Amino acid sequence: MDQVIAAVEAMGLTAEPIPGSLRTAIGVLGNQGYVDDSTIRTLPGVRETIHVSKPYKMASRDFHPEPSIIDVSGVRFGDGHKPVIIAGPCSIESEEQMMIAAKEVKAGGGQMLRGGAFKPRTGPHSFQGLGIPGLKYLQQAGKEYGLPVVTEIMRIEQLEVICQHADMLQIGARNMQNFDLLKEVGKTKHPVLLKRGMSATIEEFLAAAEYLLAEGNSNVVLCERGIRTFEKATRNTLDLSVVPLIREMSHLPIVVDPSHATGKRMLVPVMTKAALVAGAHGVMMEVHPDPARALCDGAQSLSGEHFAELMIEINRLLDFLGYS
């Protein structure tokens, strides 16, 4: 016990023993945030160390009680604002495809356009995206139909060009803990859509957002997109309970991506509505002019017609929920 107390004090903190019938707990006080416990955790006689403070602070409600409203070229995410519908193809395939997609998104009533120019694919032999030409098609299509656009950034060198062409940067699930990318994106003020990692806990998700906030970028929207579990009947397991939980733990808005979460077109409409009822500040959906010919994720994409039908139901639901 003396050794533990000494180790705690060596970190400039205070140790307070709390004797129990079988064990003694030692409280660690005086820390301003998360304490790295690795020097204490395996001293002789230490059974476990338990964290009360968390690895994030600026992302938490404790620190920032007011809800954040994130403005993306006029579209607003956050409490009191109508949930934002983001739609568009998984990947940008051609100028024509993006123009049709944007037209369909606009016609259905979507507020933002999505499309990937740089694509993270499991294997190198799959289509990797059109790159910069794709960005241009996306920007043009967004302008033509008055829709702010969001697209994924995969490497730091893309930061400048994507900021020029897109209203919002997406950080994908596989890069949620690409901390160097987070830091560089954090140095801009560009709005970010940060997707939850495939096996990230809520705590790690908020700690990833903290990287952005700590560098000065507070324009962060979180996105739940399903987690990896033993169940393979859906592509991922949509963890919808995270929506009310993050609304309580953090001031940042949270949206849901039912397309990647379920991987099945048939499940997208119903899970979109469930997400909105759960309190999501927006939904991101894959919509493709011709899903059967999509170069990526056709199986989870809605056609423009299907999207238009769904938007009628969504608007009825949003009316019911008090948005107008």
3-state secondary structure of 71: strand
Query: Is residue 83 a contact point for a copy of itself (CB under 8 A)?
Result: no
CA distances from 276 to 201, 256, 270, 294 (A): 22, 9, 10, 27
Nearer to a copy of itself, 139 or 259 (CB): 259
Q: How far is the CB of 214 from a copy of itself (least distance, A)?
A: 4
Nearer to a copy of itself, 78 or 148 (CB): 78
Nearer to a copy of itself, 46 or 73 (CB): 46
Nearer to a copy of itself, 73 or 128 (CB): 128
The region of 96-104, 159-167, 187-195, 221-229 touching a copy of itself under the rule CB under 8 A is: 221-229
Residue of 151, 188, 259, 300 that binds a copy of itself (CB under 8 A): 300
Query: Is residue 270 a contact point for a copy of itself (CB under 8 A)?
Result: yes
Provide DSSP, 84-150.
Answer: EEEEE-SB---HHHHHHHHHHHHHHT-SEEE-BSS---SSTTS-----HHHHHHHHHHHHHHT--EE
Residue of 5, 71, 140, 234 that binds a copy of itself (CB under 8 A): 234
CA distances from 37 to 34, 41, 166, 205 (A): 9, 6, 41, 20
CA angle 190, 194, 200 (to 5 degrees): 155
Nearer to a copy of itself, 110 or 263 (CB): 263
Residues in the interface with a copy of itself (CB under 8 A) total: 107
Query: Is residue 239 a contact point for a copy of itself (CB under 8 A)?
Result: yes
Binding mask 191-220 for a copy of itself (x = CB under 8 A): -------xx-xxxx--x--xx--xx-----
For tokens 């109508």, the residue is 82
Distance CA 150, CA 24 (A): 53
The region of 67-75, 160-168, 216-224, 262-270 touching a copy of itself under the rule CB under 8 A is: 262-270
Query: Is residue 2 a contact point for a copy of itself (CB under 8 A)?
Result: no
Q: How far is the CB of 44 from a copy of itself (least distance, A)?
A: 10
Residue of 94, 216, 320, 323 that binds a copy of itself (CB under 8 A): 320
Binding mask 117-146 for a copy of itself (x = CB under 8 A): -x-xxxxxxxx-------------------
Distance CA 131, CA 175 (A): 18
Distance CA 35, CA 52 (A): 9
Distance CA 307, CA 313 (A): 10
CA distances from 210 to 171, 213, 219 (A): 14, 5, 12
Query: Is residue 12 a contact point for a copy of itself (CB under 8 A)?
Result: no
Distance CA 84, CA 283 (A): 6
Residue of 229, 305, 312, 323 that binds a copy of itself (CB under 8 A): 229
Answer yes or no: are the C-beta atoms of 287 and 87 closer than 8 Å.
Answer: yes
Query: Is residue 97 a contact point for a copy of itself (CB under 8 A)?
Result: no
Query: Is residue 163 a contact point for a copy of itself (CB under 8 A)?
Result: no
Query: Is residue 66 a contact point for a copy of itself (CB under 8 A)?
Result: no
Query: Is residue 181 a contact point for a copy of itself (CB under 8 A)?
Result: yes
